[in-house]
Structure 1
């Protein structure tokens, strides 16, 4: 396991994001991909989210990180220690939620410009510097299939006002336009197994998937135990429960499958505070 370097930490603080290539080995990403496409619980609890044009993306969101394949990755030593180096504060790292993003070929819709904290602010978390997301590419992500776009350094703007756009929460367009006048737009193209760490206030979006191949990714969101959400969308306490760390090779050495139907605490669309 290679710890983050001081240059990588400085890059995250400057740009609001950090890409780590080959975060997962090929056997690990093969395992995660197979588990994801076969996961009946994920499929059953997927939420359809329309963009402003009516195109649909699917996501499945849950809170408690278990002993399933996703949970073993989310709780892996390298992952948690990397997050710990990048988050502000000293309190233990906790898992807020994870979501499997399923952008299907030709029909997978766009995600509007937004900050994750634009959603989480409505959950009444007070400290955005103590929250972040990690996107793990399960399949390749490129411009054709709607890879993530980010505005470099936009996390320093603080929280931007958000409102509903289609069935999504989008950032105020005026502030996005102002940011793009002085900040760099970056297309984050990833290979399967690459990881993107990004700040909760980083402005980001993605286009619709116009390719013939699906784009799948696992996004795990983290929080410091000291940062309390006073109006969460779930009764789960995972966001303030320190993560039980597992070995980096647990995804391969433990006989883990997908999410257990009876154990996973999935988000229901109507319960999402950010959409109310």
Structure 2
């Protein structure tokens, strides 16, 4: 039974459906930027980050229920009104850093490996004069200076 617990977080871990971070953290004016730091290699096998180049220029898009629950966690929301086939993989080596706009449509995929994690550290920055709406848990502001 021990080995099953070790394998569970790896093989079969679902990704997050294509979305814009703005959908989860509404704020005005929109100043959020996301940072993803690869703690190990993230590739097509262990659940890469996929992006749709230029999709941030489309503005906030509607989001709905996840369509592929075999690939994506059912708690996530999925972007509607954009061509998801335009998504390209972003392969990150351990230590690589990716910065992206809060409106960039992006997703992650199912981990197909039996011996590799896809750990990454993700952080979001919102300018101090932006007001966060809907999420009371994010209303506290922390000065960085």
Corresponding residue for residue 202 of structure 1:
104
Q: Does 1:220 align with 2:123?
A: yes
Tell whether 2:135 aligns with 1:232.
yes
Q: What's the secondary structure of 1:117's corresponding residue? A: helix
Larger RCO, structure (CA 8 Å, separation 6 or more): 2
Aligned partners of 1:104 and 1:209 also within 8 Å: no
Paired residues of 1:145 and 1:210 also in contact (CA < 8 A): yes
- Which of 154, 171, 176 is the equivalent residue of 2:82? 176
Q: What SS does the aligned partner of 1:113 have?
A: coil
Pairwise CA distance, 1:193: 0.5
**Are the counterparts in 1 of residues 132 and 139 from structure 2 also a CA contact under 8 Å?**
no
Q: Residues 153-187 of structure 1, C-alpha deviation per residue, up to 9 Å, x if partnerless?
A: 10000010012322111111xx122x64xxx5321
> 1:98-122 CA distances to partner (integer Å, 9 max, x unpaired)?
xxxxx9311210211100011112x
Aligned pair in 2 of structure 1 residues 230, 236: CA closer, same or farther (>3 Å)?
A: closer
Is 1:119 the counterpart of 2:63? The answer is no
Say if 2:87 is the partner of 1:185.
yes
1:136 paired residue number: 37
CA RMSD of aligned residues (A): 1.9
Q: CA deviation at 1:222?
A: 0.3
Deviation (angstroms), 1:235: 6.2
Is residue 2:49 matched to residue 1:148?
Answer: yes
Between structure 1 and structure 2, the one with the greater Rg is 1
Query: Which residue, 161, 176, 180 being the options, matches 2:62?
Result: 161
How many residue pairs get aligned? The number is 130
The structure with the greater share of residues assigned to helix is 1
Q: Secondary structure at the match of 2:94?
A: coil
Q: Separation in 1 of the partners of 2:77 and 2:24?
A: 7
Alignment deviations for residues 68-105 of structure 1 (CA, whole Å, 9 cap, x no partner): xxxxxxxxxxxxxxxxxxxxxxxxxxxxxxxxxxx931
Query: Any conservation in 2 of the 1:134–1:198 contact (CA below 8 Å)?
Result: yes
- Give unpaired runs (5+ residues) of structure 1: 1-102, 245-276
Match runs of 1:82-97 below 5 Å: none
* 3-state secondary structure, aligned to 1:208: coil
Gaps in structure 2 of 5+ consecutive residues: 1-7, 67-73
